[in-house]
């Protein structure tokens, strides 16, 4: 499918000279013709040879453009609906631009007491609806013109750099841009101002955009979206031509009990190990003749990672091999129980004490993964297995897209590479730096774990969207719900709220490590949070100070 983000990326790639206009048009035509495709324009071009440095640059620039566009629309709403004077609007723009967009306009106003958190969220929702309506029109217009508009510059600056992507220079008048830039220079002491340039006329200015877009009746169905299961960006259905693997009675020396599932590249079985008194094991089979290079690389990568990680809460590798007819297989531990997803779907949110115990076990498991120099990159309820029994022990599963790291950058070993240009992970849980292709480390998993914890405790996701692509925007720009906003029947402790907000920080360097979180939980935070939630209502009534702390939570996620 083709999205507005693809249009932005295509125009920037042509403007920067990374691809020709004809090449970009050809790829955009192909994307528009394939509504089921999940690869974006940049991923398609990278598969054709666009080098990694250019991929990283363009993803950052697209993210910057979307960020400043969202702020520009939000600011126009403020001026129209809340009577923010033009001079104050200029000051707000200058403050966020001087701070390189580490704070949102709404967060600044909530902190200053000019808006409530609910008013801020309503403005964000309205801005999102307006942008979505405009995006659909832009994509349709470009398709009608056979994408000729991709040759027009997106940013009319002498040189396209990150500094050119500001709301004042792209989406405001030249006069406003000069005033804002002068204030930024005063705040930061900058010597080289970026000229006021204006943006691409194909993307309507905020005022016109808001005039055209009508809000959807009732807004987004957040509860429905929060309950929906999310899936991997790349999925494969069983391929009849690959042969039916479900009828096999043995895999190597292992006796098949049941085929648990079959996909395009292989199958998973429950089997018995003849050398361990018939103990049950899980056997994953790769259909070597049908699996593509990416599937084979994923299979080998999971093997390599499991050899590195040894922890009781991480699924362990028992055996590996190849059948006589050429099927590669791995043998894993099998356990009685269910995935965490099933528990949440059927039983609703976890009690706070159980949720925090789950968090501790997962922190220990991820800590072992990170100590081995690996980032899991797909932490979500489907990949957490809850073992039946009173202890409710867990196993962290699926290391298929894990990646080794070296000083924040993925290591060069071929075993740990994923499909070129494809954002790996599940859209509702993926960290911002994964989207922008910035350096990753263990704190990338902490972000995903923060989403998982939020969902486990409240039954809702902290960020919601209608599609995988909208989730990417939300992770880059959206303001997460607080626990108290998502579930009002629990008296959440301010310390726990702050911890979750830190785990969901947009900047990787602003998140705690697994060890930091474990230290806080075992240092009294977990016990105090449970005690706070169990206290009588009169004892948990919010004071003015606590209300002020809640107002600062949105700021905490961005700082």
Ramachandran quadrant class, 505 (left: phi over 0; alpha: psi -120 to 50; beta: rest): beta
**358-412, pLDDT tens digit by residue?**
999 999 999 999 999 999 999 999 899 888 765 668 889 888 788 887 644 444 3
DSSP class of 214: P
476 with 530, same domain: the answer is yes
Residue 302 shares a structural domain with residue 170 = no
- Kindly report the CATH number assigned to the domain that includes residue 281: 3.30.200.20
DSSP letters along 361-421, please? HHHHHHHHHHHTTEE----SGGGEEEESSTT--EEE---TT-EEEETTEE---GGG--STT
Q: 151-167: per-residue pLDDT in tens?
A: 988 877 767 777 677 76
Say whether both 419 and 538 belong to one domain: yes
Burial of 94 per CB tally in 10 Å (0-12, 13-18, 19+): buried
Reference 386, options 335, 456, 332, 351; nearest CA is: 335
Answer whether residue 225 is part of any domain. Answer: no
Residues 20 and 97 in one domain: yes
* 434 falls within a domain: yes
Q: Which one from 313, 378, 438, 441 is the annotated catalytic residue?
A: 378
- Is there a domain that residue 226 lies in? no
User: Do residues 270 and 177 share a domain?
Assistant: no
Domain at 522, CATH number: 1.10.510.10
Cβ burial of 543 (10 Å; 0-12, 13-18, 19+) is exposed
264: helix, strand or coil: coil
Alpha carbons within 13 A on the beta-carbon side of 275: 6
Q: Is residue 543 part of a domain?
A: yes
51 catalytic residue (yes or no): no
Q: What is the pLDDT of residue 214?
A: 35
Per-residue pLDDT at 539: 45
Range of 414's domain?
Answer: 337-556
* Phi and psi angles of residue 269, each rounded to the nearest 5 degrees, phi first: -125, 150
Q: How far is CA 218 from each of CA 122, 129, 136, 215, rounded to the nearest angstrom? A: 12, 11, 20, 8
- What does the pLDDT look like over 256-287, one tens digit per residue? 888 877 665 678 888 888 877 667 888 888 87
* DSSP bridge pairs for 387: 337
- Write down which residue in 333, 364, 390 finishes a domain: 333
Q: Would you say residue 231 lies in a domain?
A: no
Per the structure, the count of domains in the chain is 3
> Is the domain of 474 the same as that of 432?
yes
Note the pLDDT of residue 533: 93
Neighbours of 538 (CB within 10 A): 6
246 and 303 inside one domain: yes
Residues 411 and 312 reside in one and the same domain: no
Same domain, 492 and 345: yes
pLDDT score of 545: 42
What is d(CA 360, CA 353) in angstroms, rounded to the nearest whole number? 11
Mean pLDDT over the full length of the chain = 75
Query: Can you give the pTM of this predicted structure?
Result: 0.59
Residue 346: per-residue pLDDT: 82
**Is there a single domain that holds both residue 512 and residue 379?**
yes
Least Cα distance to 247 among 265, 264, 259 occurs for 259
**Predicted local distance difference test score (pLDDT) of residue 1:** 74
DSSP 478-528: PPPPPHHHH-TTS---HHHHHHHHHHT-SSGGGSPPHHHHHHHIIIIIHHH
Chain center to CA of 461 = 12
| Domain assignment of residue 235, yes or no | no
SS3 338: strand
Residue 426 lies in a domain: yes
pLDDT of amino acid 353: 94
**pLDDT the model gives residue 153:** 84
Q: Count of residues for the chain? A: 559
Percent of the chain with pLDDT over 70: 70
Angstrom distance (rounded) from CA 469 to CA 473:
7
Q: What is the C-alpha to C-alpha distance for residues 497 and 500, in angstroms, rounded to an integer?
A: 5
Compute how many other C-beta atoms are within 10 angstroms of the C-beta atom of residue 409: 11
Q: What is the pLDDT of residue 118?
A: 82
Regarding whether 286 and 177 lie in a shared domain, the answer is no
Long-range contact pairs involving 428-432 (C-beta distance under 8 Å, separation at least 24): 428/230, 428/380, 428/461, 428/463, 428/471, 429/230, 429/378, 429/379, 429/380, 430/471, 430/472, 430/475, 431/475, 431/508, 432/475, 432/476, 432/506, 432/508
Nearest-angstrom CA–CA distance, 86 and 81: 13
In 3D, which of 55, 59, 64 has the Cα closest to residue 19?
A: 55
Domain boundary residue, one of 300, 333, 366: 333
**Where does a domain end: 310, 333, 356?**
333
Question: Using an 8 Å Cβ cutoff, are 462 and 486 in contact?
Answer: yes
Residue 228 lies in a domain: no
Dihedral over Cα of 499, 104, 88, 213: its sign: negative
Under 8 Å between Cβ of 80 and 182:
no
Q: Measuring CA to CA, which residue among 508, 496, 466 is closest to residue 226? A: 466
Pick the closest to residue 444 from 428, 433, 456 (CA basis). 433
Residues 359, 299: one domain?
no
Mean pLDDT, consecutive 10-residue stretches, the chain (559 aa), reads 85 91 91 76 86 79 79 80 71 68 70 78 82 85 90 79 69 64 62 42 50 35 28 32 62 85 74 78 77 72 83 87 85 83 88 94 95 92 81 80 66 33 68 84 96 95 76 82 91 95 93 96 96 73 40 33
């Amino acid at each position: 499918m083709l999205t507005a983000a693809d249009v932005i990326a295509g125009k920037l790639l042509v403007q920067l000279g990374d691809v020709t206009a004809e090449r970009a048009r050809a790829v955009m035509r192909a994307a528009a013709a394939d509504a089921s495709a999940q690869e974006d324009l940049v991923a398609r071009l990278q598969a054709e040879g666009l080098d990694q440095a250019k991929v990283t640059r363009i993803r950052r620039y697209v993210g910057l453009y979307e960020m400043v566009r969202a702020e520009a629309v939000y600011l126009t709403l403020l001026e129209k609906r809340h009577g923010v004077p033009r001079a104050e609007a200029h000051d707000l723009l200058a403050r966020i631009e001087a701070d390189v967009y580490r704070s949102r306009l709404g967060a600044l106003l909530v902190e200053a007491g000019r808006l409530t958190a609910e008013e801020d969220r309503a403005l964000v929702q309205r801005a999102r609806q307006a942008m979505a309506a405009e995006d659909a029109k832009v994509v349709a217009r470009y398709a009608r013109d056979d994408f000729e508009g991709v040759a027009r510059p997106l940013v009319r600056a002498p040189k396209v750099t990150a500094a050119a992507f500001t709301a004042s220079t792209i989406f405001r008048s030249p006069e406003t841009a000069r005033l804002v830039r002068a204030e930024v220079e005063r705040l930061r002491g900058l010597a080289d101002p970026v000229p006021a340039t204006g943006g691409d006329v194909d993307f309507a200015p905020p005022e016109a955009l808001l005039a055209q877009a009508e809000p959807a009746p009732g807004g987004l169905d957040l509860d429905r979206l929060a309950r929906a299961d999310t899936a991997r960006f790349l999925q494969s259905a069983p391929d009849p031509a690959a042969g039916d693997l479900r009828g096999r009675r043995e895999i190597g020396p292992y006796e098949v009990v049941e085929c648990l599932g079959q996909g395009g590249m292989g199958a998973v079985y429950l089997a018995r190990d003849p050398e361990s008194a018939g103990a049950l094991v899980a056997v994953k089979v790769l259909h070597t003749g049908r699996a593509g290079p990416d599937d084979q690389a994923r299979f080998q990568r999971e093997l390599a990672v499991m050899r590195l990680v040894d922890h009781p809460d991480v699924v362990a590798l028992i055996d590996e091999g190849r059948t006589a007819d050429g099927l590669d297989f791995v043998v894993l531990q099998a356990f009685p129980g269910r995935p965490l997803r099933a528990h949440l779907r059927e039983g609703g949110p976890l009690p706070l004490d159980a949720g925090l115990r789950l968090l501790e076990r997962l922190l220990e498991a991820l800590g072992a993964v990170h100590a081995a120099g690996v980032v899991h990159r797909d932490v979500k309820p489907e990949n957490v297995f809850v073992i039946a029994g009173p202890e409710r022990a867990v196993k962290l599963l699926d290391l298929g897209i894990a990646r080794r790291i070296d000083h924040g950058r993925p290591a060069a070993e071929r075993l740990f590479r994923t499909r070129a240009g494809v954002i790996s992970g599940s859209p509702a849980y993926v960290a911002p730096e994964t989207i922008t292709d910035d350096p990753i480390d263990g704190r990338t998993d902490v972000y995903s774990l923060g989403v998982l914890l939020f969902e486990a405790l409240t039954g809702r996701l902290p960020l919601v969207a209608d599609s995988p692509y909208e989730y990417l925007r939300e992770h880059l720009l959206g303001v997460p719900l607080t626990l108290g906003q998502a579930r009002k029947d629990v008296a959440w402790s301010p310390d726990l709220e702050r911890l979750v907000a830190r785990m969901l920080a947009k900047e990787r360097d602003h998140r705690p490590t697994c060890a930091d979180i474990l230290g806080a939980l075992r240092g009294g935070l977990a016990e105090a949070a449970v005690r706070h939630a169990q206290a009588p209502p009169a004892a948990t009534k919010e004071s003015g100070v606590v209300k002020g702390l809640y107002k600062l939570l949105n700021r905490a996620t961005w700082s």
